[in-house]
Amino acid sequence: MVDWARRRRWLLGAAGSGLVALGAGGCALKGDANISLVQGKVLFIKHCGACHTLARAGSKAEIGPNLDDAFAESIAAGLGRNEIHGIVESQVLYPATGSLMPKLPLTTRQAADIAEYVQYAAARPGQDSGLLASAGASGFGPPAAEKNGKLAFTANPTGQLAYTVNKATATAGNVTISMTNMSGTPHNLAIQVGTGATGALVGKTPVSATGTNSITVDLKPGTYTFYCQVPGHRAAGMFGTLTVK
């Protein structure tokens, strides 16, 4: 016989020890017919994707527990998805003191939306479809292009872990690179030689939640990677390729 009380305590620790979703007090909204899966996915990507893997949300970070793995075993053993909702909502609203989770402003409705999406998506094979498939999509624009020695980047204004472009071009030489972030989510922009996970750092802007920061770098012909250095953001997809000719 499965000891569900014991399993629930374990899942609270495993799934919640690093859940970056944000906390505020209030009553749970589980079962509210107006809970939005689409909004829950957008909020999850914005606030949780930097730390957690959840395949359907496209997040691959490893700072906190992998939510697909954390819930798969218990689902197979008979744990209902409604129970997952309660576990996640609890951790979102009441992060444990001393845990990796920050306590940031979030309404009870937003916490319920996140919990509803995780309840739906965790350890579920396949991909989201319809409106849910496009929820939280970065919608990259045309490549950023250097002009007169200046190259500008912008962080996604909604707080998603992405820039507004994932490609850029420049002419070799001294280039002043600016990064504007008005999302309220801390970001920066670093330039690295090569496109892999390792390589020499060419330059970086300061981490900031709002405003514009700039650096001037001497770029040689070749391929570079631009990315955010805030922990978990690159792993969540906040990077792109800069081609210098």
Domain 4-134 has CATH 1.10.760.10: yes
CA 110/CA 124 separation, integer angstroms:
22
pTM > 0.75: no
First to last CA, the chain: 65
pLDDT at position 178, please?
A: 97
Q: Where does the pLDDT of residue 191 fall: very low under 50, low under 70, confident under 90, or very high at 90 and above?
A: very high
Confidence band for 59, pLDDT divided at 50, 70 and 90: confident
Specify the pairing of strand 150-154 against strand 190-193.
unpaired
Fold annotation for 144-244: Immunoglobulin-like (2.60.40)
- Give me the half-sphere count of Cα atoms (radius 13 Å) on the Cβ side of residue 117: 29
DSSP symbols for the chain: ---HHHHHHHHHHHHHTT--S--------TT-TT--HHHHHHHHHHHTTTT-EEGGGTEE--SS--HHHHHHHHHHTT--HHHHHHHHHHHHHSPPTTSS-------HHHHHHHHHHHHHHTT--S---HHHHHTT-----SPEE-BTTEEEEEB-TT--SSBS-SEEEE-SEEEEEEEEE-SSS-B--EEEESSSS---EEEEPPPBSSEEEEEEEEEPSEEEEEE--STTTTTTT-EEEEEE-
Please check the confidence at residue 6 and state whether its pLDDT lies above 80: no
For 38-51, the pLDDT digits (tens) are: 889 988 988 888 88
- Residue 139 to residue 43: CA distance in whole angstroms: 16
For range 137-154, the mean pLDDT = 91
Is residue 34 scored above 70 in pLDDT? no
Least confident of 18-22, 132-136, 172-176: 18-22
Write down the domain spans for the chain: 4-134, 144-244
CB within 8 Å of 144: residues ≥ 6 apart? 151, 152, 153, 165, 167, 168, 169
Given this model, what pLDDT does residue 13 score?
A: 52
- pLDDT of amino acid 96: 83
Rounded-to-integer distance, Cα 75 and Cα 83, Å: 10
- Most confident region among 130-134, 160-164, 216-220 by mean pLDDT: 216-220
Residue 26 confidence (pLDDT): 31
Q: Name the pLDDT band for 98 (thresholds 50, 70, 90).
A: confident
